[in-house]
Chain A
Amino acid sequence: QSVLTQPPSASGTPGQRVTISCSGSSSNLGVNYAYWYQHLPGTAPKVLIYRNNQRPSGVPDRFSGSKSGTSASLAISGLRSEDEADYYCATWDDSLSGWVFGGGTKLTVL
């Protein structure tokens, strides 16, 4: 059972917009930034969004993040086949004194 809750799966057709949610609590997302990672099997995870809504250089602006209260969201617009991957949210948890990840969301591009 992950500290952060994500839907296990999401899907969309090319060109669509999809949103992945991440729910936490007052000790983690309620007081700390949200981070989003993309992970393709057999490769190193990659940071997509840092500090709630910032994109590293090289990450397309099709990816956007937001946070409100104890929840965060990752939105992917103009869905492409290469977006098919696992997506994880993460943050620091003040009560646990450690990093926590969501269980991951497997995105399928239909």
Chain B
Amino acid sequence: EVQLLESGGGLVQPGGSLRLSCAASGFTFTTYAMSWVRQAPGKGLEWVSTIIGSGDRTYYADSVKGRFTSSRDNSKNTLSLQMNSLRAEDTAIYYCAKHDPYCSGGRCYMGAFDIWGQGTMLIVSS
């Protein structure tokens, strides 16, 4: 069974740091791009970051660029999100999600967020 399990959430003071993890199982982890998506209280889904299968390329939302770093350890089937300089507006449930890639016209694309974890809660408050 394909599963994603996030961990590492908690309460952090503004300006602090935290590292989230996502343990993947049931699929060949290194083959798939992975993303972080968050939902702030009372708000909608917001994409945070994507990392391709090899880990060589990452993408970030402008709201977190320069503060968050996504990485992966393909030997341990683990995705991580290092979050620095945290702000109150980073308070959210953070989901990791697997992509379902497809190829067309000689190019391959990340595709849908097809599997999601249950999320881990981050609260940034003094």
Q: Do A and B bind?
A: yes
Residue numbers of A with Cβ under 8 A of B are 2, 35, 37, 39, 43-47, 50-51, 56, 86, 88, 90, 92, 96-104
A50 and B112 within 8 A (CB)? yes
Dominant SS at the B interface?
strand
- B110: shortest Cβ distance to chain A, in Å? 7
B44 and A101 within 8 A (CB)? yes
Tell me the residues in window 85-114 of chain B with beta carbons closer than 8 Å to chain A beta carbons: 95, 97, 100, 102, 109-114
Return chain B residues, CB-CB under 8 Å to A43: 118
Return chain A residues, CB-CB under 8 Å to B117: 44
B59 and A97 within 8 A (CB)? yes
Determine the distance from Cα of A88 to Cα of B46 in the docked complex, in whole angstroms: 10
Interface size on B, residues (CB 8 A): 25
Q: How many A-B residue pairs have CB under 8 A?
A: 60
Residue numbers of B with Cβ under 8 A of A are 35, 37, 44-47, 50, 59-62, 95, 97, 100, 102, 109-114, 116-119
Determine the distance from Cα of A2 to Cα of B37 in the docked complex, in whole angstroms: 14
Determine the distance from Cα of A20 to Cα of B59 in the docked complex, in whole angstroms: 29
A47 and B114 within 8 A (CB)? yes
A98 and B59 within 8 A (CB)? yes
Determine the distance from Cα of A1 to Cα of B123 in the docked complex, in whole angstroms: 22
B113 and A98 within 8 A (CB)? no
A2 and B113 within 8 A (CB)? no
Residue contacts A-B, CB under 8 angstroms, 28 given:
A2-B44, A39-B45, A43-B118, A44-B116, A45-B37, A45-B95, A45-B97, A45-B113, A47-B100, A47-B112, A47-B113, A50-B111, A51-B111, A51-B112, A86-B44, A88-B45, A90-B47, A92-B109, A97-B59, A98-B50, A98-B59, A98-B61, A100-B47, A101-B44, A101-B46, A102-B44, A103-B44, A104-B44
